[in-house]
Structure 1
Amino acid sequence: MAESGSAAGQTPPPARRPPRRVSWIWLVPAVAALAGLLLVLQVWLNAGPTATIYFQTAEGLEAGKTQVRYKEVTVGLVERVALNPERSGVVVTIRVDKDASNLLRDGTVFWVVRPRLTLSGVSGLGTLLSGSYIGLDPIGSKDKAGERPGRKTEFVGLEVPPEVAQDRAGKRYTLIASDLGSLDVGSPVYYRRIAVGQVVGYHLAKDGQGVEVQVFIDAPNDAYVNDGTRFWNASGVDFSVDARGLQMRSQSLVSVFVGGVAFETSAEHSRIAAAANASFELFPSEEAARAQPDGLPLPIRMRFDQSVRGLVVGAPIDAYGVTIGKVDAINLDFDSDTKQFYTVVSATLYPERLGGQTYSEVKEFAGPDAQHPSGKLLSALVARGTRAQLRIGNLLTGQLYVAMVEFPNAKPVTFKMEDRPFIPTVPNNLDQLQQQLNSILAKLDKVPFDEIGTELSGALRGASRLVKRMDVQLAPELQALLRQANRSLAAVGGLLAPEADLPASTDNTLRELGRAARSLRELSDYLQTHPDALLRGRKPDPAVRR
């Protein structure tokens, strides 16, 4: 009973519940979360790199809409547009597609493509409908040094699109000129009047004394540029007047309005093409480009005691028809001895313009050091009468030039060789003509015009008296003589009238002369047939047969 009581007092153990089962409904959000995570991971893995571009303005740029294009293929998108910390520009963040990530490297340039109107043409018209976009131009697989460019994520954008793509076949060259003239970016470059390139940029030289113009020559035409190539400014229209008349030259109608550059290669130089970025001089005209090389300069001075009106800086110096120099400066000076002003013209001669053979011959005579000539040649020329003279180069404009001419009868002068020696001068033709006119006027001034006038007046009075005498005395006699002459002519007319005796007698006489002539002709014919009739007489006439 006790066991049964104790058993009755014990609490029975709790019954075990069956384990809970996870509901299949939770599998749906788990799969969705996993798919989203995989999608995010895939997007993150497939997303391209980002880059930062600095522009001066955000005109036409909009985050999430503006595209990044290369060769009209979309390769990225603008993610963010904001001001830079200095508020002097904007910072544009772009994301580039993964397969185009190799475009972000050192040397790549970015710019905003907008509608632009320039002298060289119109660009970006397609953006009027599609909106602005960012264009890019990557550098090649190797830079100028031949090394592979490294990756880069920060760039400074261009405000103006580049004129030439970096992968365009051809070469760039630098032209050095004294001024830009009418050239501009996009101006064409001509070779034999064919456009083979264009101007891609320009800037002042480092010393500020000139302009450096960058041109691009397309391949394969860049092979024509070598060490003998000469470039010149072919802008506008070139007018010239010479012995052949008025001539007008222009490369093309485009170069008249937007300017242009032309070049020519001499066949005497090597045919090896010039290296990229080589420098050449840009001559102001075709005539200057075709001229002989200047070589070492020889500075000189000239003193003119007459007016130099019409002579300008840059005027040519001519010797035997060859331009050997130019005028550098024209200054006025005062002679304290004569108390008169005179003009000092500074110029530069280039002996090498005489030609290679001539220069080599006179070089030995001038001295072995071309930079410091001995003056022996100039002394000999001056001693032979070589002088500088101002002459008229253009009758229409009155422009003057300096001619180096030999005057055998010139007065001897003393020549002294200096750093800038004085070349003796002679008056020009106009001054000589003026001196001759002054001499003629001086001689005319010595003529006694008053005495000549008095004598001429007396001669005229005598002539007047003679005319009056002839009118009083000779006029009646002349009238009587004329009346007698009229009567004589009337008598002659009566003799020659058709009904007068003289014409009838003359007519009869002429008829008798005609018959006598016929008789003589018959006698001549008979004697020619019977010459013995002169000795035997005329033969009797033959009997008439019946």
Structure 2
Amino acid sequence: MALETSQGPPAPGAIKTSSRWSVSLVWIVPIIALLVGISLVVHNRMQAGPEITITFKTGEGLTAEKTQVKYRNVVIGHVSEVELSEDQKSVTATVKLAKQAASFTREDAKYWVVRPRIGAGGVSGIDTLLSGAFIGADSGASQRTVKTFIGLEAPPPITYGEPGKRFTLVTKDLSSLDIGSPIYYRKIPVGQVVGYALDKDGKGVEVEVFINAPNDAYVTTNTRFWNASGIDIGVGANGFSVKTESLSAVLIGGIAFGAPEYGLASTVASEGSRFDLFTDAPSALAPPPGRAQYMALRFDQALRGLKVGAPVEFQGLEIGKVVSINLDFDLKTRNFPIIVGIVIYPESMGQAHVKMLALLKHDPSDLEGGIRIIGSFVEHGLRAQARSGNLLTGQLYISLDFYPKAEKVTFDPNARPIMLPTLPSSLELLQEQLQAVIEKIANLPLDRIATNLDGSLNELRNGLKQFNSQTLPGVRTTLDDVRKTLKSASATLADDSPQREQLSDAIDELGRMSRSLRDLSDYLGRHPESLIRGRPKDSQFDSQSEKRSP
């Protein structure tokens, strides 16, 4: 549109017009592009998730705008920036999460770098050799959200939401256990070790374990846990026995649990319950030992081979253990005796303990009465002795037994701790006996015995010489004569010799004579009058003689 102007004043009656602003079509495209850009920015802002920072010890496997964050193998974010921390002791990774991953900003969420690892649970992260490392994530249960996290150096063994229960086991040391070590129930893996730490005073270890559902219902208030690592080798009357939970437990350690056979009433254990971790199954499943009684033993000889934890036995039954071994000094004798502290459990004697209490009418809660009973046992010969448990290893144990012929000692019921009298060890007695034998041998008059023996040997040598020179030739002559006589007798008794025929005739004649005498005796027995009247003619005796004559 053109505008008409005049330099002069307007003419009278002329029409006055005003100017109008209009937009050119050229500006429409930039305006639309600007609006689209603004909408995209707004959309991205609205769709963008939270941004967090994760601190790792190293930046191994982390690359800006490349490393992904995954949960259950689903991408929920990526690393936008990787830089050193201000103190240059760690690496800070800035991570942009997806909008639907807002729950991963919870305070107890966990992050770790997934890379190839070899651990107690096996080999993991092999796929990252081709795809590259990524950050693994696990959401938590906290209601509080944060923007900074400390990355884990290893994946957590249990992820959030895994059904099951956590328990705490208390032990003296970790042994061969590690995170991921399996937990067995009836030799079936039902859980694993998820963590461990020293207790507050540093004198023990607290092991956190996780039992998967539904097997967590088998953990009751009466359950016992024990270390199932390694191989248990036993020697019994039937030979050797080898026990192990599994090959995995031998290599990486493991824990087993079960309930004792005596079956006390129990309920399902609650989350976070604490249990003791025993060293082996027998000690874990054994009945409770009952009240302990501490006593001290004094030995005047060396006890090499006796260790803390060695068993204390009575009649071959283990009723306690050694808890301390200390060196003492006796001012009177100027010797260094050894004081051995033991703990015994009288209730481990079973029915013998029950019957003894009933016979003595003793109340177990009466400590003074119990000490008096021990004193009466000492009067009847109760003694302690260190004995050899294994000749190969030289290990010793304490044996309690009655020795009626033992030397009488005075028992002090007021002494604390209670002192039990002792006897020298079996090896010590053997050494004393050997020493006594050696002393007797040393006291023998060996020189005089050797002189007498030498004289006797000389006399014997002279006698043998005389026998060889004088007696032996005569013996030889006699033997020759005997040999000749035997040859002559052999020739006389030969089958074809006249003497043999004459001897046979003489023997036949003697036979006929014996028969005649027998017939005569028979006849006289029937006719005794023949001795007076004589033999009648044609008598029966003549007929019998004629019959028998050849």
Q: Is TM more than 0.5 here? A: yes
Contact 1:224 1:265 in 2 (8 A): no
TM-aligned CA deviation for residue 485 of structure 1: 1.9
2:246 aligned to which of 252, 273, 278: 252
1:196 lines up with 2:175 in the alignment: no
Residue segments in structure 2 that go unaligned for 5+ positions in a row: 1-8, 510-539, 544-550
1:457-516 per-position Cα deviation (integer Å, ceiling 9, x unaligned): 44434433433343343333322222222222222333354554467789999999xxxx
TM-aligned CA deviation for residue 303 of structure 1: 0.7
Provide the C-alpha distance between the structure 1 equivalents of 2:221 and 2:99, rounded to a whole number of angstroms.
46
| SS at 2:328 equivalent | strand
| SS at 2:337 equivalent | strand
1:228-270 per-position Cα deviation (integer Å, ceiling 9, x unaligned): 2222222222233343333332222222221222222224034
Contact 1:105 1:138 in 2 (8 A): yes
Instruction: Report the more deviating stretch, 456-465 or 343-352.
Output: 456-465
Matching residue's letter, 1:94: V
Instruction: Look up the match of 1:460.
Output: 457
1:330 aligned to which of 317, 325, 334: 325
Instruction: Look up the match of 1:490.
Output: 487
Provide the C-alpha distance between the structure 1 equivalents of 2:355 and 2:122, rounded to a whole number of angstroms.
51
Instruction: Look up the match of 1:233.
Output: 227
1:390 lines up with 2:390 in the alignment: no
Number of positions where the alignment pairs a residue of Structure 1 with one of Structure 2: 500
TM-aligned CA deviation for residue 178 of structure 1: 0.9
Provide the C-alpha distance between the structure 2 equivalents of 1:164 and 1:383, rounded to a whole number of angstroms.
62
Provide the C-alpha distance between the structure 2 equivalents of 1:478 and 1:9, rounded to a whole number of angstroms.
197
TM-aligned CA deviation for residue 437 of structure 1: 3.3
Matching residue's letter, 2:252: V
Contact 2:103 2:139 in 1 (8 A): no
Contact 1:292 1:352 in 2 (8 A): no
Instruction: Look up the match of 1:208.
Output: 202
Provide the C-alpha distance between the structure 1 equivalents of 2:83 and 2:456, rounded to a whole number of angstroms.
112
1:309 aligned to which of 294, 304, 308: 304
Instruction: Look up the match of 2:418.
Output: 421
Structure 1's 489 and 280: CA in aligned 2 closer, same or farther, altered over 3 A? same
Instruction: Look up the match of 2:343.
Output: 348
2:408 aligned to which of 392, 406, 412: 412
1:131 lines up with 2:127 in the alignment: no
Contact 2:260 2:286 in 1 (8 A): no
Matching residue's letter, 1:291: A
Instruction: Look up the match of 1:400.
Output: 396
TM-aligned CA deviation for residue 194 of structure 1: 2.1
Structure 1's 113 and 210: CA in aligned 2 closer, same or farther, altered over 3 A? same
1:512-542 per-position Cα deviation (integer Å, ceiling 9, x unaligned): 9xxxxxxxxxxxxxxxxxxxxx9xx9xxxxx
1:158 lines up with 2:152 in the alignment: yes
1:430 aligned to which of 424, 427, 430: 427
Provide the C-alpha distance between the structure 2 equivalents of 1:230 and 1:475, rounded to a whole number of angstroms.
90
Provide the C-alpha distance between the structure 2 equivalents of 1:86 and 1:354, rounded to a whole number of angstroms.
65
Instruction: Report the more deviating stretch, 167-176 or 386-395.
Output: 167-176
Please list, as runs of the form range in 1=range in 2, the aligned pairs for 1:22-101 lying within 5 A after superposition. 22-101=23-102
TM-aligned CA deviation for residue 173 of structure 1: 1.4
Provide the C-alpha distance between the structure 1 equivalents of 2:344 and 2:16, rounded to a whole number of angstroms.
127
CA RMSD of aligned residues (A): 3.4
Provide the C-alpha distance between the structure 2 equivalents of 1:51 and 1:352, rounded to a whole number of angstroms.
62
Provide the C-alpha distance between the structure 2 equivalents of 1:455 and 1:43, rounded to a whole number of angstroms.
123
TM-aligned CA deviation for residue 36 of structure 1: 2.5
Structure 1's 510 and 132: CA in aligned 2 closer, same or farther, altered over 3 A? farther
Structure 1's 91 and 380: CA in aligned 2 closer, same or farther, altered over 3 A? same
Structure 1's 362 and 212: CA in aligned 2 closer, same or farther, altered over 3 A? farther
Instruction: Look up the match of 1:376.
Output: 372
TM-aligned CA deviation for residue 210 of structure 1: 0.9
Matching residue's letter, 1:493: S
Contact 2:167 2:271 in 1 (8 A): yes
| SS at 2:387 equivalent | strand
Contact 1:366 1:376 in 2 (8 A): no
Contact 1:227 1:269 in 2 (8 A): no
| SS at 2:49 equivalent | coil
Residue segments in structure 1 that go unaligned for 5+ positions in a row: 1-7, 144-148, 513-533, 538-546
Matching residue's letter, 1:99: Q
TM-aligned CA deviation for residue 396 of structure 1: 0.7
| SS at 1:375 equivalent | helix
Instruction: Look up the match of 2:4.
Output: none
Instruction: Report the more deviating stretch, 250-259 or 168-177.
Output: 250-259
1:282 lines up with 2:261 in the alignment: no
Instruction: Report the more deviating stretch, 179-188 or 414-423.
Output: 414-423
Instruction: Look up the match of 1:520.
Output: none
